[in-house]
Amino acid sequence: MVAVSKPRGTRDFTPEEMERRRAVEKKMREIFESYGYREIATPTMEHMELFTMKSGEGVIEETYSFHDKSGRMLALRPELTAPTMRFYMEKMRMSPKPLKVYYFGNCFRYDRPQKGRYREFWQMGCELIGTDKPEAIAELIATAYHVLEGTGLKNVKLRVGDLELLRSFIKKLGVENSEIMRLIDKSDYDGVSELIGEKEGAEEFMEFLNCRELDSLKKFFGGEAGRIESVLEWLSSFGVPYTLDTSIARGLDYYRGIVFEIDAPSLGAEKQLCGGGEYTLLPLLGGDETATAGFALGFDRIVLALEKEGYEFPLPEELVYIHPIGDEMRKEAVLLATELRMKGLKVEMDLMRRSMQKSLQYADRIRAKKAVIMGPDEWEKGMVVVKDMKTGEQKEVRKEEIGGYL
């Protein structure tokens, strides 16, 4: 036991884990950028108010907040949408529309930790500002889907819903919005039934919640399902498979209109990889009614899902290891290491003055591809020995030609 351990719900990452995470992160960035999104970054902490404004009670309870030395109430960000909107209001309002920005950062929620649910976790997400055309929302959803596909994940399920339709039903029922939305978000249908009881339209509402086909959805609204119909049509043009899901409520209060979620069924309880949709936050920050939509992907869950699917993560770039024999070769080894690094190779040299045997054992353990053995006699003749660490084959080569053997 160490004297001080890490806080509950947080994690350390080993070099191997970081290599995997960085490889996944890189692919995700490439897809975001292929859709024209550009990266932004915002502070890890914000004024608490930014999150209490409209994110809903759950968020307040879950937020890590504290008073700083001058008494301001600050919070570690539980998500990146509100910070992005604040940033937009302060600095990006004049940017040409649509504005497409993406972000990657750690978020903090005082959640009950379990596999796939952490108190510090990473989100990669984006916001699309300035358009609510159906093809724009469809492109946003397609981006989320293709980012997940681009990581190598095979089994993901996209569900798309419309909060306008859900809310219009709830209004007709005359029940309190936030309570019923919370129950729907948790898929607690018994709770929903209990809440709406025998109210007029209760039965129809339960049918609506279970509706998964566009044709049956249209019947509830006199043969026309409005915006969601055309968003889904566009989604097909983007080649994205989806299921209609009228019961998506989303946990945060700022959502309006089209909403969507993507799951990895292999993950069990914490299977939601992505959540997003259209939302309204700008007016609360003093802005106008500019259209806004976005989503965030749970980065840690993506890595978990890839592991679960048995994905073979790409191996890190190959390493060259230099072993100088005897003290007189050490300076030469430094010069050679520097030269090879300048050529773009990854190079490590013996820094423990080990015997050749121990040194090469270490090279093997750090998965070096080639070892360069520098002996004084060979060096005098202008030669070094290059050892292939996999096959064990050794070759004497001229030092000027070493690049061709690594």
Residue numbers at the binding site for ligand HAM (CB under 6 A): 79, 81, 109, 111, 117-118, 121, 123, 125, 127, 251-252, 272-276, 279, 294-296, 298, 300-301
Q: How far is the CB of 203 from ligand HAM (least distance, A)?
A: 30
Q: How far is the CB of 122 from ligand HAM (least distance, A)?
A: 8
Nearer to ligand HAM, 11 or 199 (CB): 11
Token pair 């030395």 is found at 69
Distances (CA, A) of 183 to 187, 192, 200, 301: 6, 6, 19, 24
Q: How far is the CB of 103 from ligand HAM (least distance, A)?
A: 9
Q: How far is the CB of 221 from ligand HAM (least distance, A)?
A: 25
Nearer to ligand HAM, 246 or 292 (CB): 292
Nearer to ligand HAM, 311 or 405 (CB): 311
Nearer to ligand HAM, 300 or 350 (CB): 300
Nearer to ligand HAM, 85 or 336 (CB): 85
Nearer to ligand HAM, 13 or 364 (CB): 13
Q: How far is the CB of 310 from ligand HAM (least distance, A)?
A: 21
Nearer to ligand HAM, 84 or 246 (CB): 84
Cα separation of 190 and 184, whole Å?
Answer: 10
Which H, E and C letters describe the chain, residue by residue? CCCCCCCCCCCCCCHHHHHHHHHHHHHHHHHHHHCCCEECCCCCEEECHHHHCCCCHHHHHHCCEEECCCCCEEEECCCCHHHHHHHHHHHHCCCCCCEEEEEEEEEECCCCCECCECCEEEEEEEEEECCCCHHHHHHHHHHHHHHHHHCCCCCCEEEEEEHHHHHHHHHHHCCCHHHHHHHHHCCCHHHHHHHHCCCCCHHHHHHHHCCCCHHHHHHHCCCCCCHHHHHHHHHHHCCCCCEECCCCCCCCCCEEEEEEEEECHHHHHHCEEEEEEEECCHHHHCCCCCCEEEEEEEHHHHHHHHHHCCCCCCCCCCEEEEEECCHHHHHHHHHHHHHHHHCCCEEEECCCCCCHHHHHHHHHHCCEEEEEEECHHHHHCCEEEEEECCCCCEEEEEHHHHHHHC
DSSP β-ladder status, 346-349 and 120-129: unpaired
Q: How far is the CB of 275 from ligand HAM (least distance, A)?
A: 3
Cα separation of 264 and 283, whole Å?
Answer: 34
Q: How far is the CB of 288 from ligand HAM (least distance, A)?
A: 18
Nearer to ligand HAM, 129 or 196 (CB): 129
Nearer to ligand HAM, 193 or 266 (CB): 266
Q: How far is the CB of 267 from ligand HAM (least distance, A)?
A: 9
Provide the sign of the torsion angle of the four alpha carbons 323, 327, 328, 331, taken in this order.
Answer: positive
Angle between helix 134-150 and helix 15-34 axes, rounded to 10 deg:
150
Backbone torsions φ then ψ of 282, nearest 5 degrees: -60, -45
Nearer to ligand HAM, 185 or 378 (CB): 185
Q: How far is the CB of 321 from ligand HAM (least distance, A)?
A: 38
Q: How far is the CB of 274 from ligand HAM (least distance, A)?
A: 5
Per the structure block, which two tokens stand in for 338?
A: 């520097």
Q: How far is the CB of 364 from ligand HAM (least distance, A)?
A: 36
Nearer to ligand HAM, 253 or 350 (CB): 253
Q: Which residue's C-beta sits nearest to ligand HAM?
A: 298
